């Protein structure tokens, strides 16, 4: 393993993107993700890449569309209100089957909201934030090391399935520093025979477009896209289990909420409460299998979120509501404390699955 360096999560994303071969970054500054743009502004010119601060988020996502059409790895990043602005472009990327990496370092909302950490863009990310039937692959890092590793993986998945991968982080993950090792293996980029790179008079034109006026053609394209989505749901779900072997109470949490929950779980275990954690790493596809599997021993699930309860719906769907799922949350830029989560665990233990 290479020497570990201390890096902010935002910087780790930027460095990992460069490592993955991304040479084109378009963005517009917004707290708490500005370090990504700052890092790119410093590095890209030195390695023959493009850093461009666009006039708006909407312009930036459309520049991503343009570069992606040529087959190059490309990214943009923003925080919650900026992602809303990019949503039209995200839908167009989906409609044109273009790969891209988009980072959302979430902050509290709705509206301009605040600048402190949040996870309240879960619905927006996992349901496809723009119009039309589509999904993005959504990756949720819970450490600076994962910020780097999932960025590389995000580019690979985007190319493999010709779609957007979103890194769904939050202000804490973006701002915190942790040791990170950057000797991350990068697979060779796949051929992109669909890209617009000039025909050299030797092949028919490639056309990148999301306009299909014939309904039966458009329907067929949606069907085909969803076949790809089905393959992703089958093959790409990622998660971490923590102390789940004998768990009677299971916490579901991602990102910073999962880290806070681990503290609470360690304390609860000292009190003899059998509690564990399932941490989804892919939020779409949502890892349903570990939740189904947990039902062998788990009597109650607790969804710990920095939102009013968004992922909780996927937890309930994964287990068809067969046991109670309760919510433990803070919002608006507040973060649940380990004590709050511990109280929720004790409460669940007392109820023994009876709600």
Partner 1 sequence: MSTTQLLFSGFGGQGILFAGKFMAYKGLIDNKQVSWLPSYGPEMRGGTASCSVIISDTPVGSPIVSKPDILIAMNLPSFDRYESAVLPGGMIFSDSTLIERETDRKDITEYRIPATQLASDNGFPTLANMIIVGKILSVMDDFGAESVDAALKKVISAKHADMLEVNLKAMKLGAEYKG
Q: Which stretch binds partner 1 (CB under 8 A): 126-134, 156-164, 172-180, 311-319?
A: 172-180
Nearer to partner 1, 10 or 310 (CB): 10
CB of 69 to partner 1, least distance (A): 36
Asked if 263 touches partner 1 (CB under 8 A), the answer is: yes
Asked if 340 touches partner 1 (CB under 8 A), the answer is: no
3 state SS of 107:
strand
CB of 273 to partner 1, least distance (A): 17
Near partner 1 by CB under 8 A: residue from 29, 81, 309, 338: 338
Contacts of 21 (CB under 8 A, 6+ apart): 73, 155, 186, 189
| Range 180-239, binding partner 1 (CB under 8 A) | none
CB of 337 to partner 1, least distance (A): 6
- The token duo for 235 is 């093959």
CA distances to 57, 67, 76, 322 from 29, in Å = 9, 20, 11, 44
Asked if 243 touches partner 1 (CB under 8 A), the answer is: no
Task: Work out the number of other CB atoms within 10 angstroms of the CB of residue 20.
Answer: 23
Site string for partner 1, 6-25 (x = CB under 8 A): x-------------------
Asked if 175 touches partner 1 (CB under 8 A), the answer is: yes
- Kindly compute the dihedral angle of the four CA atoms of residues 323, 327, 328, 329, in this order, to the nearest 10 degrees: 160
| Range 79-108, binding partner 1 (CB under 8 A) | none
Interatomic CA distance for residues 242 and 219, integer angstroms? 42
Interatomic CA distance for residues 283 and 139, integer angstroms? 6
Whether the CB-CB separation of 51 and 38 falls below 8 Å is answered with: no
Asked if 355 touches partner 1 (CB under 8 A), the answer is: no
Q: Which stretch binds partner 1 (CB under 8 A): 158-166, 203-211, 253-261, 322-330?
A: 253-261
Asked if 171 touches partner 1 (CB under 8 A), the answer is: yes
Q: What is the 3-state secondary structure (H, E, C) of 278-301?
A: EEECEEECCCHHHHHHHCCCCCEE
Asked if 262 touches partner 1 (CB under 8 A), the answer is: yes
Pairing of strands 24-27, 100-106: unpaired
| Range 132-151, binding partner 1 (CB under 8 A) | none
Interatomic CA distance for residues 247 and 147, integer angstroms? 28
Asked if 116 touches partner 1 (CB under 8 A), the answer is: yes
Q: How many residues does the chain have?
A: 355
Whether the CB-CB separation of 47 and 185 falls below 8 Å is answered with: no
Near partner 1 by CB under 8 A: residue from 19, 115, 218, 243: 115
Whether the CB-CB separation of 47 and 18 falls below 8 Å is answered with: yes
Asked if 112 touches partner 1 (CB under 8 A), the answer is: no
Asked if 329 touches partner 1 (CB under 8 A), the answer is: no
Near partner 1 by CB under 8 A: residue from 68, 124, 172, 318: 172
DSSP code for 70: T
Asked if 178 touches partner 1 (CB under 8 A), the answer is: yes
Asked if 73 touches partner 1 (CB under 8 A), the answer is: no
Cα 233 from chain centre: 15
- The token duo for 6 is 């201390």
Asked if 177 touches partner 1 (CB under 8 A), the answer is: yes
| Contacts to partner 1 by CB under 8 A | 4, 6, 31-32, 115-116, 171-172, 175-179, 256, 259-260, 262-263, 266, 335, 337-338
């Amino acid at each position: 393993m290479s020497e570990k360096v201390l890096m902010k999560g935002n910087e780790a994303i930027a460095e990992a993107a460069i490592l993955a071969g991304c040479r084109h970054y378009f963005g517009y500054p917004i707290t708490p993700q500005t370090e990504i743009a700052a890092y790119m502004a410093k590095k890209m010119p030195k390695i023959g890449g493009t850093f461009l601060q666009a006039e708006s988020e909407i312009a930036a996502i459309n520049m991503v569309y343009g570069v992606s059409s040529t087959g190059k790895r490309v990214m943009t990043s923003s925080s919650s209100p900026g992602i809303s602005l990019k949503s039209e472009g995200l839908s167009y990327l989906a409609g044109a089957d273009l790969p891209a990496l988009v980072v959302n370092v979430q902050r509290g909302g709705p509206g301009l909201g605040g600048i402190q950490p949040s996870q309240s863009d879960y619905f927006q990310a996992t349901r496809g934030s723009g119009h039309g039937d589509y999904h993005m692959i959504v990756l949720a890092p819970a450490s600076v090391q994962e910020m780097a590793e999932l960025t590389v993986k995000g580019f690979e998945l985007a190319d493999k399935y010709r779609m957007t991968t979103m890194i769904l982080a939050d202000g804490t993950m973006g701002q915190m520093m942790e040791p990170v090792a950057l000797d991350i293996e990068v697979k060779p980029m796949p051929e992109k025979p669909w890209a617009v790179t000039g025909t050299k008079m030797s092949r028919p034109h490639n056309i990148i477009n999301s306009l299909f006026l014939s309904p039966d053609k458009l329907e067929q394209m949606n069907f085909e896209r969803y076949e790809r989505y089905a393959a992703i749901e089958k093959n790409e779900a990622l998660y971490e289990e923590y102390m789940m072997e004998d768990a009677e109470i299971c916490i579901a949490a991602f990102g910073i909420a999962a880290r806070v929950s681990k503290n609470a779980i360690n304390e609860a275990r000292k009190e003899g409460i059998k509690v564990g954690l399932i941490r989804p790493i892919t939020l779409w596809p949502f890892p349903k299998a570990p939740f189904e599997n947990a039902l062998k021993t788990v009597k109650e699930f607790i969804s710990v979120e920095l939102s009013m309860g968004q992922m909780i719906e996927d937890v309930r769907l994964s287990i068809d509501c067969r046991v109670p799922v309760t919510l433990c949350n803070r919002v608006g830029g507040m973060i649940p404390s380990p004590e709050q989560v511990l109280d929720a665990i004790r409460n669940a233990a007392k109820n023994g699955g009876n709600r």
